[in-house]
A and B are shown apart, each in its own frame.
Chain A
C-alpha cells in the first residue's frame, strides 16, 4: 500500500472523470506533438535541401519563387536567363561552385533537370545502380522516381513540356535511364537529371519547325552559387544586381521568410493547444478539489492511521500527476498517429511528413504534462494540508 498505489486506486475508483481529464490533456499534447513534429520536419527538409547553396541567380521576379523553384522544385521558375549573361558573374573569384539548372520539362509530373557535374558535387550524389548521365538524352534518376515511376536502368521515356503532368509530349527524342541515385533524403530523390544540352536540343528541335529562332542565344533557368569566402555574402549579390539584369535570392533568407509566413499559422495552433491544456489543467484541478471534499474524511482517517501530512500531500499530488502523465503519453501517441494519417493524404512528394519519428522536444511535452498535474494538484493539496482533522472527525 504505497502512496503511489493509493493514488492509483483512487483514480480507478472514478474512471470516467479520470479518463475525461486525461483525454483533455491528451488533446492539448496531441496538437502540440503534431505541430512540433511537422514543423521540425519541415525545417529539416528546408535546411537539408538548401544545404551548400548560398545564392540562387535567375530571372527577375519573386525571390521566394526563385528559391521554391530551384531549391525545393515546388513552384514555377521566374523565367529563363541568358547563359552569356550568367557567365559574366559565375566565374568571379568569390564563387567556389556554380551549378546551372535548365528546367522546363517533366515526366509524369517528375521534373527533368538539365545540369552538369557540379550538381553531383553540390549534393554529393552517388549512384546505386548504373552510372551518371554522359551524352545527350541520357538521364540519372532519383531513387524515389525509380520506385514510384517503375523505371529501371535501360528504360526509355518521353519528356513532356511544362512542369506539371501534361499531354504536350516531346516525341522526337526519348530519354534513356542510365543510372539510379542512391537515396539522399532530400529533393534529389524526386528528380530526373540530365545534361543541359538535352534540354536545349529537346526544345531547339521544336523551334526549328516553326521559325528561325535557333540563332537566339542559349538560355538556362537558374544558377546555384556556392561561395568561396564569407565576404561574398554581402558583396556578391550587390555586384550581380549592379552588373547584370539578373535577380539573386538567398535560400537562407527566403526560407526564413517562408517559415515566418507559415509560422503565424503554427503559432495560432500552438496557442489553441495551450488553451486546451489550460482547460485540462483547470478541469483536473476542479476534479481533484471536488473529490478532495468527498475524501476529506478519508484523508482524516489516514491521518488517524498514522499518515503524516506530507504523505497525504504526496498521495493527492501523485493522483493529479498520474492523470496528466497518462494524458501526455496518450497525447504524444495520438500526435504521431495523427501526423502519419495526415501524411497518408499528402501526395507523393518530397514534402511528405511522417509520424514515425521521435524528436527530443517531445520530452518537454511529457514534462509539461507533469507540470500541469502538479499545478492542478497544488491548490487542493494546500487545502488538504490546512484541514483540521479533529474538526472533520467531530463533524462526522
Chain B
C-alpha cells in the first residue's frame, strides 16, 4: 500500500537524516511518534509528496510518487491524500461548503454536492455549510478540516499533530473522528504526534528517535 525504501533527507546545512523502511497495509492505523525536531514533519511531507527525499523512494498504491511530474504529483496528492493540520487552516474567504467544493475541484474531481453533505452529516456539522470559518469555534473548524481531508475519499488520511492545541475532551473527540472517518472511507490513518494522551489507542507505531 505505502512503502518507504531507503528514504533520507539532506538538510541544507549538510546533515543527513535517514529513516527506517516502512510499509503500511491498506486500512491500517498508524501512529508516528517522535519528539519535536526528530523529523516527523519532514517524513510526513515526504509521504504527502511535498518534499522530495534526497535518496530513496516513496510508493503509494504502486505509484512512485516522486517519479511523477510536478503537476501530476499535485493532482495525485489532491486525489489520494487527505491532510489534517495542527490548526484547521480553512480558506477564510470561502464558506464551509465552498471550502469542501474547493477540495474537490483542486483535486481535479467534479463538484459532488451529495458527497459534501454526506461528509458534513457524518461529522455532525451539516447545519454550518453556509457559514464562514471565522464564525465557527476552533472545534467546529477542526471538524471542517477533517471533512475537507476526507471529502475526496483519500487512500491515506494524514494528521499532523491534530491534538496538540486541544484539551483532553476534544482530543478524544478528534481522535475518534479521525479513526471513524478513516474506517468509513477505507483509508489508511497516519497520525504524527508527540502527544502522550493518544499513544495507547494505536496498535501500529513508527517511532523516530
For A389, what are the chain B residues with a Cβ–Cβ distance below 8 Å? 50
Nearest residue, chain B, Cβ from A11: B93
Q: B45 and A311: CB pair below 8 A?
A: no
For A51, what are the chain B residues with a Cβ–Cβ distance below 8 Å? none
Main secondary structure of the interface of A (DSSP, over half): helix
Cβ of A174 < 8 Å from any Cβ of B?
A: no
Nearest residue, chain B, Cβ from A297: B89
Which of the residues A298, A308, A393, A394 comes within 8 Å of B91, measured between beta carbons?
Answer: A298
Q: B45 and A394: CB pair below 8 A?
A: yes
Cβ of B114 < 8 Å from any Cβ of A?
A: no
Cβ of A240 < 8 Å from any Cβ of B?
A: no
Which of the residues A1, A10, A301 comes within 8 Å of B89, measured between beta carbons?
Answer: A301
Instruction: State how many residues of chain B have any CB contact under 8 Å with chain A.
Output: 33
Q: B98 and A1: CB pair below 8 A?
A: yes
Cβ of A292 < 8 Å from any Cβ of B?
A: no
Q: A390 and B51: CB pair below 8 A?
A: yes
For A308, what are the chain B residues with a Cβ–Cβ distance below 8 Å? 70-71, 74-75
Main secondary structure of the interface of B (DSSP, over half): helix
Q: How far is A2 from B107 in the complex, measured between Cα atoms in Å?
A: 12
Q: A307 and B87: CB pair below 8 A?
A: no
Contact A306/B77 with A6-B94, A9-B93, A393-B85 known, Cβ cut-off 8 Å: yes
Instruction: State how many residues of chain A have any CB contact under 8 Å with chain B.
Output: 25
Q: How far is A9 from B148 in the complex, measured between Cα atoms in Å?
A: 19
Cβ of A213 < 8 Å from any Cβ of B?
A: no
Which of the residues B93, B107, B108, B111 comes within 8 Å of A13, measured between beta carbons?
Answer: B93
Nearest residue, chain B, Cβ from A299: B91
Cβ of B1 < 8 Å from any Cβ of A?
A: no
For A393, what are the chain B residues with a Cβ–Cβ distance below 8 Å? 41, 45, 50, 85
Q: How far is A310 from B70 in the complex, measured between Cα atoms in Å?
A: 10
Which of the residues A9, A304, A396 comes within 8 Å of B50, measured between beta carbons?
Answer: A304
Q: Mark A9-53, 1 if CB is under 8 A from B, else 0.
A: 110110000000000000000000000000000000000000000
Q: A12 and B106: CB pair below 8 A?
A: no
For A306, what are the chain B residues with a Cβ–Cβ distance below 8 Å? 74-75, 77-79, 103, 106-108
Q: B111 and A1: CB pair below 8 A?
A: yes
Nearest residue, chain B, Cβ from A7: B93
Q: B75 and A6: CB pair below 8 A?
A: no
Q: How far is A10 from B49 in the complex, measured between Cα atoms in Å?
A: 27
Cβ of B104 < 8 Å from any Cβ of A?
A: yes
Q: How far is A309 from B74 in the complex, measured between Cα atoms in Å?
A: 9
Q: A9 and B106: CB pair below 8 A?
A: no
Q: How far is A304 from B82 in the complex, measured between Cα atoms in Å?
A: 8
For B107, what are the chain A residues with a Cβ–Cβ distance below 8 Å? 305-306
Q: A301 and B91: CB pair below 8 A?
A: yes
| Chain B, range 47-75, C-beta contacts under 8 Å to A | 48, 50-51, 70-71, 74-75
Q: Mark B14-34, 1 if CB is under 8 A from A, else 0.
A: 000000000000000000000
Interchain nearest-CB distance for A308 vs B (Å) = 5
Cβ of B156 < 8 Å from any Cβ of A?
A: no
Q: Mark A297-329, 1 if CB is under 8 A from B, else 0.
A: 110011111111111000000000000000000
Q: Which residue of B74, B83, B86, B107 has the most chain A CB atoms within 10 A of its CB atom?
A: B74
Q: A6 and B83: CB pair below 8 A?
A: no
Q: A310 and B50: CB pair below 8 A?
A: no
Q: How far is A2 from B101 in the complex, measured between Cα atoms in Å?
A: 9
For B105, what are the chain A residues with a Cβ–Cβ distance below 8 Å? 1-2
Interchain nearest-CB distance for B44 vs A (Å) = 9
Q: B106 and A302: CB pair below 8 A?
A: yes
Cβ of B208 < 8 Å from any Cβ of A?
A: no
Contact A304/B77 with A1-B104, A1-B105, A6-B102 known, Cβ cut-off 8 Å: yes
Nearest residue, chain A, Cβ from B91: A298
Contact A12/B50 with A1-B101, A305-B103, A306-B108 known, Cβ cut-off 8 Å: no
Cβ of B92 < 8 Å from any Cβ of A?
A: yes
CB<8 Å pairs between A and B, sample of 9: A1-B102, A2-B105, A9-B93, A12-B93, A298-B89, A308-B71, A308-B74, A390-B51, A394-B45
**Interface of A with B (CB < 8 Å)?**
1-2, 6, 9-10, 12-13, 297-298, 301-311, 389-390, 393-394, 396
- Extra pairs beyond A1-B102, A306-B103, A390-B50 (18, CB < 8 Å): A9-B98, A10-B93, A13-B93, A298-B91, A298-B92, A301-B85, A301-B89, A305-B103, A306-B79, A306-B106, A307-B78, A307-B106, A311-B106, A390-B45, A393-B45, A393-B50, A394-B41, A396-B86
